[in-house]
């Protein structure tokens, strides 16, 4: 049995304390992150610098004693390793060479994937050496559909037109790309599990864009294949799925994807989730990150509602999406103190 609160909870056991961590906890709201970021040439080489990546991974642990550390990396490291010329432009966000048709990406592009992503494994190994014994280490990857939205549009998108058209018009070709991305994700997660990640998380940040008729094909089944692939490679770490914006589709996803725990975004009513998700399935979430900007009594009330809604199932406290750069650091402490006081 582990003495790590985060892992115990993921294993289905509820403790008196609720474990806490925050998506994007290693990021720009921290001045110590911005100081290191300013010394880095570009975001990709920052992610591929094991020493620096480990340092920023540990920053929120040192400052807040979070129950879990998530390795500093990015979901777009997989398209980068596939040779899609991923770069991050300040003020714009991620850019990739857009692909005209889904079948323009060939399986051959995966040949060097694990070599290229090896520094992420090294960052995990280094981090594990410095992590407090009670803190868990999370590795992660993007889900195939979410990666497809970036690959189709060549960057972020508002309505995901091209990826959705691919789904309606080029199903066969899209299937080929799904398979390539599924294989890549199995390799990337397995690499992180081997390097010491104690939990794996799959971010499907744009699950909301998938038409309901296609959810099983584009969301649930690929996650199921990824989980089977990771297990086949011998890794037993718990896997958290985060299908953001899936709404009522969360029930099917929770039952059929094979995930061990489900991350909830702030659009989900915790009361509904508590009543409708499979009994005793561990959940993670789901405070609106923007409530932290003022951290007033409305935020405290919502924290109480979230805790109360999940009082009878394993629950990891988190935000419903990544913390925003303008969040005052002291407000994160107010949130944590309120959760840990109980």
- Which are the catalytic amino acids? 24, 28, 37, 74, 150
Q: Where are the alpha helices (DSSP H) in the chain?
A: 5-10, 31-37, 43-47, 50-64, 77-81, 113-130, 144-153, 161-169, 171-194, 215, 221-232, 250-256, 270-276, 297-309, 329-340
Residues within the interface to ligand CP3 (CB under 6 A): 23-28, 37, 43, 70, 72-76, 88, 93-94, 140, 156, 203, 205, 322
**DSSP per position, 77-140:** HHHHHTT---EEETTTEEE----SSGGGS-GGGGTTHHHHHHHHHHHHHHHHHHS-TT-EEEEE
Q: Cβ of residue 82: shortest distance to ligand CP3, in angstroms? A: 15
Specify the 3-state DSSP secondary structure of 69.
strand
Specify the 3-state DSSP secondary structure of 142.
strand
Q: Give the DSSP H or E segment for 287.
A: strand 283-287
Query: In Å, how far are 15, 23, 72, 128, 129 from 67, measured between CA atoms?
Result: 13, 12, 16, 14, 16
DSSP symbol at 243: E
Tokens coding 193: 């599990």
262 preceded by cis ω (within 30°)? Answer: no
């Amino acid at each position: 049995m582990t003495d790590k609160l985060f892992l115990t909870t993921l294993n289905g056991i509820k403790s008196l304390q609720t474990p806490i961590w925050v998506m994007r906890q290693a990021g720009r709201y921290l001045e110590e992150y911005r100081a290191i970021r300013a010394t880095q040439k570009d975001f990709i080489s920052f992610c591929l610098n094991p020493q620096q990546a480990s340092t920023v991974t540990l920053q929120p642990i040192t400052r807040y004693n979070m129950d879990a550390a998530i390795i500093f990396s990015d979901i777009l490291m997989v398209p980068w390793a596939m040779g899609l010329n991923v770069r991050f432009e300040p003020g714009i966000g991620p850019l990739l060479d857009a692909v005209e048709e889904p079948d323009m990406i060939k399986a051959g592009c995966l040949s060097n994937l694990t070599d290229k992503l090896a520094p992420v494994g090294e960052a995990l190994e280094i981090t594990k050496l410095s992590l407090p014994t009670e803190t868990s280490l999370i590795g992660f990857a993007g889900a195939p559909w979410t990666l497809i939205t970036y690959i189709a549009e060549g960057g972020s998108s508002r309505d995901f037109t091209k990826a959705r058209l691919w789904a309606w018009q080029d199903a066969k070709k899209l299937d080929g790309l799904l398979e390539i991305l599924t294989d890549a994700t199995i390799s990337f997660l397995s690499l992180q599990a081997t390097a010491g990640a104690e939990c794996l998380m799959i971010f499907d940040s744009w699950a909301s864009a998938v038409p309901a008729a296609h959810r099983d094909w584009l969301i649930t089944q690929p996650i199921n294949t990824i989980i089977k692939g990771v297990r086949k490679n011998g890794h037993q770490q718990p896997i958290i799925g985060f299908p953001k914006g899936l709404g009522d589709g969360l029930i099917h996803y929770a039952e059929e994807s094979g995930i061990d725990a489900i991350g909830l975004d702030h659009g989900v009513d915790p009361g509904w989730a508590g009543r409708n998700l499979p009994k005793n399935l561990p959940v993670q979430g789901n405070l609106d990150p923007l409530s932290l900007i003022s951290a007033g009594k409305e935020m405290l009330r919502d924290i109480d509602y979230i805790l109360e809604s999940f009082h009878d199932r394993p629950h990891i406290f988190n935000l419903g999406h990544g913390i925003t750069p303008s969040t005052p650091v002291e407000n994160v402490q107010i949130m944590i103190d309120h959760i840990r006081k109980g």
